[in-house]
Amino acid sequence: MCFLRIMKVLNNNAVMVKQDKQEKIVIGLGVGFQKGKNDLVNPNKIEKIFVLEENEKFEQLLKRIPEEHFIISENIIAYAEEQLQTKLNSHIHLALTDHLSFAIERERQGIQLRNKLLSEIRVLYREEFEIGLWAIQHIKEQLGIDMPVDEAAYIALHIHTMKIRGGDLRETVKLTTIVGEIVHLIEKGLKINISKNDLAYERLITHLYYMLDRVSQSVHALDQDMLKMIKRKFPKSFRCSEEIAEEILTKYNIKLPEEELGYITLHIERIRNVLT
């Protein structure tokens, strides 16, 4: 067995070690309790070992926040990895812990931030949102604090972004924001309100999300003859799609190809038939 020697104690439940000439973080209940530099890590207490490039930032964070916030964050990460059957990018330990601690302190001060993307997140990242719901229940059980459902959505975004390949939270938020904005433009164009509980709404935003992903990869599948038929048969809905494309191009510099406008047109037409 290879024994690990402590370089630095971060808190009672996290220490820094060097293994294979690489600095690593070791996490486990009581792994750093009454330990110091050069002490050996009790292998029976090790729950997780990972490499974190932002070791200094992680150390600073652990000095600033209550240790219970760190423990709760680690519990949520472990639960998420178990539910998703995948390892999350190691940056989640810094990003989610920082976010959660700030959110808990805000809640204690009576400051609640509404999540404008709640409806979209609930549908687009269904598994992650369920984990978010578990997380706010876990916070309630551990700290007696009732977090709003909006927080479950924020947690879901962090988890989705940090799946094994990692990602950019800003890009995830941007993508989800654009989806929500397109829905708003459709409502504005048709002068209707689309129920967030309606199946048509779920189909629409799921399609919009994957459409934006296809656009980023320049992958389009709609047959040109089918596109012509859609434009001819549903001119009002296609015009609404064109107006949406113009708005998205102006605001986000994302060009939606005509093929994708054909798909959006079909969704708009379905919504028109149901709600108008």
State pLDDT tens for residues 115-160: 888 999 999 999 999 999 999 999 999 999 999 999 999 999 999 9
Examine the pLDDT at 75 and tell me if it is beyond 60: yes
CA 211, CA 205: separation in Å to the nearest integer?
A: 9
Contact between residue 140 and residue 147 where contact means Cβ atoms under 8 Å apart: yes
Question: What's the mean pLDDT in 201-229?
Answer: 77
Which range of 22-26, 60-64, 138-142, 205-209 scores highest in mean pLDDT? It is: 138-142
Give the predicted TM-score (pTM) of the model.
0.75
* Cα 49 off chain centre by: 23
Structure-token match 């750093």, residue found: 32
Burial of 125 (0-12, 13-18, 19+ CB in 10 A): buried
Task: Out of 52-56, 101-105, 255-259, pick the least confident.
Answer: 52-56
Examine the pLDDT at 104 and tell me if it is beyond 90: yes
Examine the pLDDT at 210 and tell me if it is beyond 80: no
User: For 229-276, what is each residue's pLDDT tens digit?
Assistant: 889 999 999 999 999 999 999 999 989 888 889 889 988 888 887 665
Question: What's the mean pLDDT in 197-215?
Answer: 80
162 vs 86, 99, 101, 230, 232, CA distance in Å? 10, 14, 18, 39, 43
CA 71, CA 66: separation in Å to the nearest integer?
A: 9
Examine the pLDDT at 189 and tell me if it is beyond 90: no
Percent of the chain with pLDDT over 90: 38
Structure-token match 């048969």, residue found: 233
What is the band of 220 on the pLDDT scale with cuts at 50, 70, 90?
low
Per the prediction, the chain carries an average pLDDT of 86
Closest by CA position to 209, among listed 189, 179, 239: 179
DSSP β-bridge partners for residue 17: 6, 24
